[in-house]
């Protein structure tokens, strides 16, 4: 591990994500970076070697949506760890209970991503109702002069929108859609104080009362496949689904079947069960808007996030409270 | 004209648009319909024959965006006309001055379309900033697993949005984008009382102070090509243009050149200079979102509109005020 030989006075950092040159330089200026992807080693060997160093790393920088899970085995391999900094809007790739049990603190992205994800969700909703992507393909293929006006689409204003999960992202979505004249309802573990939206303790009832259903919850045991066949059928043949949460929140096979059978009208999807793989059936559907798990990926947020990651690491090494701690659910 | 032979007691109506079966039946139940497209005759011959009937038609139902202009020649051909009902969000296909000079009243779509057009404008803006359509093509082409994450995009929240034209549509756009945390400014002939947005008497200055420029004005002599090279250059290499007004509001050749040169960052376009023809250069650009003049085309609005058209015609024939009169600008 070449990086371990230099800058011994700097605190050690396990780097388990790919970074651009600017951010890498910013990290190396502050930390002794043990770079997994640069090492070429298998994960377990990399972690074991890092743990065996004279001054083993006390912090790790990880990424959501990758293959690396911060689970018991990971934490066992590097007992020196005291802090995990991650950057997902969700933290389903970090076992918070295992971390808490070992006194490992976890920092997340805070609310940096909330507005981008909410913007993206609204974009997907307008996209699927107004068929923007399919209309674009129609124009680009030169079909407008040949086949005439594009088909009628579905109005957004006035639609009943059900949001699953009214956290930071769900609240931002609700705020936006209120301005479009949508009627907002939501489902979450418990009703939120002081929000003007209708609460449904049961997600099936929410779907039955919604024209559009937006999945905006964290992925955990209570929300895995929270949208399955029964909920999709409650949403019904005129209903559309938007998912900007996690692929695991939706039973993807049931979703494909519901779209194929016309049991729902369409879907706007940024996340999938087995990313980067998207079911080929979806890729051929005109009533589906697809993006590549990019709801958080704006230039502006990326810059803010890099600053926040360094801020959290510096706070940890200085013995101060994390800027954006993730609490156990 | 077969239809003229039946229902002589019903008032005559010139039908200068294509209609679906349901709406055609609803019209025929109320009016003696003289159907241009069913007649197969050239326009001038059709109008002359209609005017020569014993009970010549006093009202005409026309469509925006088609080849038929209600101009002096049209009005001269059917001097019996007292009412023109049209359905565009804009009425640049009707010569309002010529109508007024002959005492011909004009009914439009009122504000039926405003929310749909505003929804569409926001969809195009999110689409171009977040590159939703291009990302969709990336996913559909199977490039996500092959080439990795899609590129970073541009944040909507916090952007400075300049709106050209703060009528019914522009106001609805502003209301929506405020909920996204955008800073709204506008240009119109005169500042509007009691709106909280910053007013720019000069469109060039508005563009220079905006990250995104949305064209939402009527098309008239003052607004034809209101967005030309100078305004595009003021918008600048990080700026995006959205046009949901009329193709004629933008100098399309200059827009293509600005996009090709990277002098602006992107565009979301529902309208074009020579519809249904879209410049082929635009059809190949990934930083452009294209739709087929469909901002008004939702199932819901189409139904509302058919009701409104009949309501205006019935009001006219009953000697009552039109429901949604178009006033001279």
B165-202 as b/e: b if 16+ CB within 10 A: bbbbbbbbbbebbbbbbbbbbbbbeeeeeeeebeebee
Other CB atoms within a 10 A radius of the CB of residue B117 amount to 25
Rounded to whole angstroms, the Cα distance separating A263 from B288 reads 33
Q: Which residues lie across from B213 on neighbouring strands? A: B162, B241
Contact B133 A138 (CB under 8 A): no
Query: Is pLDDT at B269 greater than 60 in this prediction?
Result: yes
Report A:192-231 residues touching B (Cβ under 8 A): none
pLDDT at residue B3 greater than cutoff 50:
no
Q: How confident is the model at residue B9 (pLDDT cuts 50, 70, 90)?
A: confident
ipTM of the complex: 0.87
pLDDT at A1: 42
Please tell me if the domain spanning B2-112+299-317 has the same topology as the one spanning B114-290. yes
In the stretch 227-256 of chain A, residues with CB closer than 8 A to chain B read none
User: In this predicted model, which residue has the larger pLDDT, A178 or B66?
Assistant: A178
Per-residue confidence (pLDDT) for residue B144, from 0 to 100: 96
Q: What is the mean pLDDT of chain B?
A: 94
Comparing CB atoms, the residue among A119, A136, A299 nearest residue B180 is: A119
Delimit the domains of chain B by residue range.
2-112+299-317, 114-290
Regions of chain A with pLDDT less than 50: 1-7
pLDDT digits (tens, 9 = 90+) for B298-314: 999 989 999 999 999 99
Residues in chain A: 329
Name the residue with higher pLDDT: B318 or B64: B318
Q: How far is A205 from chain B (nearest CA, A)?
A: 25
Cβ-nearest to A176 among B124, B158, B179: B179
Question: Can you tell me the distance from the alpha carbon of B58 to that of B167, in angstroms, rounded to the nearest whole number?
Answer: 31
Fold of A114-290: Rossmann fold (3.40.50)
The conformational region for residue A7 under phi > 0 = left, psi -120 to 50 = alpha, else beta, is: left
Q: Is A303 on the interface with B (CB under 8 A)?
A: no
The pLDDT of residue B65 is 67
**Within the 34-73 window of chain B, which residues sit less than 8 Å (CB to CB) from chain A?**
none
Regarding predicted confidence, which is higher, B258 or A63?
B258
pLDDT recorded at residue B329: 53
Examine residue B276 and say whether the peptide bond preceding it is cis (omega within 30 degrees of 0): yes
Q: Given pLDDT bands bounded at 50, 70 and 90, which one contains residue B111? A: confident
CA B13/CA B27 separation, integer angstroms: 9
- pLDDT at residue B1 tops 70: no
B7: pLDDT strictly greater than 50: no
> Within the 89-148 window of chain A, which residues sit less than 8 Å (CB to CB) from chain B?
115-116, 119-120, 122-124, 126-127, 130, 132-133, 135-140, 142, 144-145, 148
What pLDDT is recorded for position A4?
A: 44
Q: State whether residue A60 is helix, strand or coil.
A: strand
Query: Region B163-183: what's the mean pLDDT?
Result: 97
Tokens of A78: 């590097």
Does the beta-carbon distance from B154 to A180 stay under 8 Å? no
> What confidence score (pLDDT) does residue B6 get?
47
For A247, A261, B68, B192, the CA distances from A285, given in Å and listed in that order, are: 18, 12, 36, 45
What pLDDT is stored for residue B2 in this prediction? 44
Other CB atoms within 10 Å distance of the CB of residue A261:
11
* Nearest chain A residue (CA) to B129: A298
Mean pLDDT of B199-209: 98
Write the pLDDT tens digit of every residue in A105-131. 999 988 889 999 999 999 999 999 999
Active centre residues of A (catalytic): 246, 275, 293
Given a contact cutoff of 8 angstroms between Cβ atoms, the answer to whether A176 and A126 are in contact is no
pLDDT at res. A310? 96
Specify whether domain A2-112+299-317 bears CATH 3.40.50.720. Answer: yes
Integer Cα distance of A14 and A33 in angstroms: 6
pLDDT at B133 over 70: yes
* pLDDT score recorded for residue B294: 95
Whether B53 shows a pLDDT value over 90: the answer reads yes
Q: Which of A23, A119, A148, A211 would you mutate first to test chain B, the one with the most B CBs within 10 A?
A: A119
Cis peptide before B294 (omega within 30 of 0): no
3-state helix, strand, coil in chain A (%, to 5): 40, 15, 45
């Amino acid at each position: 591990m070449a990086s371990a030989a230099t800058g011994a006075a700097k605190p050690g950092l396990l780097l388990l994500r790919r970074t651009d040159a600017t951010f890498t330089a910013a990290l190396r200026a502050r930390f002794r970076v043990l770079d997994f992807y640069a090492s070429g080693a298998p994960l377990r060997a990399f972690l074991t070697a890092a743990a065996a160093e004279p001054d083993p790393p006390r912090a790790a920088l990880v990424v959501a949506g990758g293959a690396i899970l911060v689970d018991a085995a990971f934490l066992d391999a590097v007992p020196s760890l005291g802090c995990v900094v991650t950057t997902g809007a969700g933290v389903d790739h970090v076992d918070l209970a295992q971390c808490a049990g070992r006194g490992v603190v976890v920092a997340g992205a805070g609310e940096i991503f909330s507005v981008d994800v909410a913007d993206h969700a609204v974009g997907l909703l307008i996209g699927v109702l107004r068929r923007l992507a399919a209309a674009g393909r129609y124009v680009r293929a030169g079909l407008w002069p040949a086949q005439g006006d594009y088909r009628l689409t579905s109005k957004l204003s006035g639609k009943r929108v059900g949001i699953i999960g009214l956290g930071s992202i769900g609240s931002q979505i609700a705020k936006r859609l209120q301005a479009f004249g949508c009627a907002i309802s939501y489902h979450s573990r418990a009703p939120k104080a002081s929000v003007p939206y209708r609460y449904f303790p049961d997600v099936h009832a929410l779907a039955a009362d919604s024209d559009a259903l937006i999945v905006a919850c964290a992925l955990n045991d209570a929300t895995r496949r929270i949208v399955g066949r029964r909920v999709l059928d409650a949403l019904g043949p005129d209903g559309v689904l938007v998912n900007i949460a996690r692929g695991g929140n939706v039973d993807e096979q049931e979703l494909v079947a519901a779209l194929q059978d016309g049991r729902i009208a369409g879907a706007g999807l940024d996340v999938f069960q087995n990313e980067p793989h998207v079911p080929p059936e979806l890729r051929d559907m005109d009533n589906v808007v697809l993006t590549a798990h990019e709801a958080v990926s704006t230039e502006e947020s990326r810059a803010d996030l890099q600053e926040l990651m360094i801020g959290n690491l510096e706070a940890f090494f200085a013995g101060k409270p994390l800027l954006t701690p993730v609490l156990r659910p």
